[in-house]
A and B are shown apart, each in its own frame.
Chain A
């Protein structure tokens, strides 16, 4: 049967995610990079950038399900990420539950909060929904500063959640007689979770519920008339997106080991919007690409701020723009440039390159 390996013999074959030899080779290459990278790049700065990028990718997949697939804009993503971080601090740190459980607890809390906000999407759309979810960020900031028992108030709270799955402790990884640093362990943990979340999300969007989300995005009245309960799916998308955001927040908090209310601000929400737009609305791998491209920016700017002309390296220092303001400006610029020149984002560029080589040597 060797010669017929690549022939589609039924719908099951056609529905495979990695159906072509090229796709399988690409997958294998990614697995190798995933396994080998932390042993090659042992530099803590670069590993930590990659870990933050991975956590951001998880959150971005969540937002893309809501905004890219279901068409509901949300500026409240930072609120759910913050809620997840505090869930990790309390459930993982104080109560001391293991990683899988505090991650699921964060997801459950995120979903519950999303379920409370979700019904607003039934009455509002577009700019109006953006304004309501924007309000969420400010209500959140107020809550985080005043629920001192839960969040530590203005001064923040340590997050002492453990990072072990069964016998494997990612904080001090020990495999086959080799011991690895915390950053190496976290790289494998976080990017393993990115792969898992991406796979689950991809499965979701290619089956009945995912098609329904996209139908609601494209034409909600027609969706209703063919039997899709649009309201249910809007709320469902909100809950799922918030659950994933809360998981990203929980990972963020327990990796950083300390969180304060200043982190869940509007800029964080806008960063996520920038990621899904730059990466490509309505694609799963676009969210990951966007997170690599945009998510690494703040860390890199912070690190190399001295080399960038005009950037203040300290409060009241020389230069005309702070690191924070430069980040904001860059996110804004990226959103504008991509919306104008490549609305399909990095994923769109990638698909065009792929289509070119598929048709090569023909140009059509």
Chain B
């Protein structure tokens, strides 16, 4: 299955409908290994729907989605996570009553094996596994500078830290493809710059392919290798950030039909 050349993700001709509403209309794109790919578009354009199709939360009516040659269609979300697709959520998907460390350890759930019985009989396998994976989690804690918050319940984390913790949980999954749903939504300028720095660092250290859904245009223009612009479920432009920024269709979608 491992292919040396060719795109990591192929998203081809995907159409998703809810009753009479077409959320995605024949959307196609590819993501190369190690690429930072951004998806932009006004509210309701279908950006998050793309993620939900990738995750297996929604099942599109038409089209194919393959990761490294393996089809993702029809697989359960948990199975897709096992194939190496990680995600952060637009409005925080942390488990509020669990501590930050426990949240990150949950990211490693699919890499661990302890079941009900070996968990109950702690000594031996379960304990060894806890310690080994805790060490891996600590590397992420260090990378994202989350040390002061280890034992804090995720529900009590400050907003910016919680966003970073969610990124950490996604990284703990050791993914091949990372989906970031508005990582800087609701952040001020400094927090946004911090996040950009972390994303660049993650990219440099881990060489991950990422898909970024974001409203903050300056962030997208600074970070992304390529950009896809979406409006009402239709792809209106794909290309380098500067090309997409100047595309008349994109300007029209953002500023209205005055042009």
Tell me the bound Cα distance from A214 to B153 in angstroms.
13
Show the binding face of B for A, using Cβ within 8 Å: 55, 57, 76-78, 81-82, 86-87, 89, 93-98, 102, 105-107, 109-110, 112-116, 118-122, 126-127, 129-131, 134-135, 169-170, 173
Report which of B55, B96, B119 forms a contact with A209, defined as CB distance below 8 A. B119
Nearest 10 CB-CB pairings of A with B: A227-B110, A227-B81, A222-B93, A218-B95, A207-B119, A224-B77, A203-B122, A200-B120, A208-B114, A229-B78
When A211-B102, A222-B95, A225-B55 are in contact, do A204 and B120 touch as well, CB less than 8 Å? yes
Within the complex, the shortest CB–CB distance from A332 to chain B, in Å, comes to 26
Tell me the bound Cα distance from A225 to B89 in angstroms.
10
From residue 144 to 173 of chain A, which have CB atoms closer than 8 A to chain B?
Answer: none
Tell me if A227 and B109 are in contact (CB < 8 A). yes
Residues of B within 8 A of A222 (CB): 89, 93-95
Q: Which residue of B lies closest to A221 (CB)?
A: B57
When A11-B131, A211-B102 are in contact, do A225 and B97 touch as well, CB less than 8 Å? no
Within the complex, the shortest CB–CB distance from A234 to chain B, in Å, comes to 13
Residues of A within 8 A of B135 (CB): 11
Q: Which residue of A lies closest to B172 (CB)?
A: A226
Tell me the bound Cα distance from A227 to B113 in angstroms.
12
Report which of B76, B97, B102 forms a contact with A224, defined as CB distance below 8 A. B76
Does A219 belong to the interface (CB within 8 Å)? Answer: yes
Main secondary structure on chain B at its contact with chain A? helix
When A204-B119, A222-B93, A224-B78 are in contact, do A212 and B109 touch as well, CB less than 8 Å? yes
Residues of B within 8 A of A209 (CB): 114-116, 119
Within the complex, the shortest CB–CB distance from B15 to chain A, in Å, comes to 22
Main secondary structure on chain A at its contact with chain B? helix
From residue 72 to 126 of chain A, which have CB atoms closer than 8 A to chain B?
Answer: none
Residues of A within 8 A of B129 (CB): 207-208
Does A12 belong to the interface (CB within 8 Å)? Answer: yes
Show the binding face of A for B, using Cβ within 8 Å: 10-12, 15, 200-201, 203-204, 206-212, 214-215, 217-219, 221-230, 236, 240, 282
A-B contact pairs, 22 of them (CB 8 A): A11-B131, A12-B131, A15-B127, A203-B119, A204-B119, A204-B120, A208-B114, A208-B129, A215-B109, A218-B95, A218-B96, A221-B57, A222-B93, A224-B76, A224-B81, A226-B93, A226-B110, A226-B173, A227-B110, A227-B173, A229-B78, A240-B116
Within the complex, the shortest CB–CB distance from A55 to chain B, in Å, comes to 20
Report which of A12, A210, A214 forms a contact with B95, defined as CB distance below 8 A. A214
Tell me if A212 and B106 are in contact (CB < 8 A). yes
Tell me if B169 and A226 are in contact (CB < 8 A). yes
Report which of B76, B86, B134, B169 forms a contact with A229, defined as CB distance below 8 A. B76
Tell me the bound Cα distance from A218 to B122 in angstroms.
24
Tell me the bound Cα distance from A206 to B123 in angstroms.
13
Tell me if A11 and B95 are in contact (CB < 8 A). no
Tell me if A219 and B95 are in contact (CB < 8 A). yes
Tell me if A225 and B109 are in contact (CB < 8 A). no
Residues of A within 8 A of B77 (CB): 221, 224-225
Tell me the bound Cα distance from A201 to B120 in angstroms.
6
Tell me the bound Cα distance from A236 to B106 in angstroms.
18
Tell me the bound Cα distance from A207 to B131 in angstroms.
11
Residues of A within 8 A of B94 (CB): 219, 222
Tell me if B93 and A219 are in contact (CB < 8 A). yes
Q: Which residue of B lies closest to A201 (CB)?
A: B120
Residues of A within 8 A of B109 (CB): 208, 211-212, 215, 226-228
Tell me the bound Cα distance from A310 to B130 in angstroms.
57
Tell me the bound Cα distance from A223 to B77 in angstroms.
9
Q: Which residue of A lies closest to B78 (CB)?
A: A229
Residues of B within 8 A of A282 (CB): 97
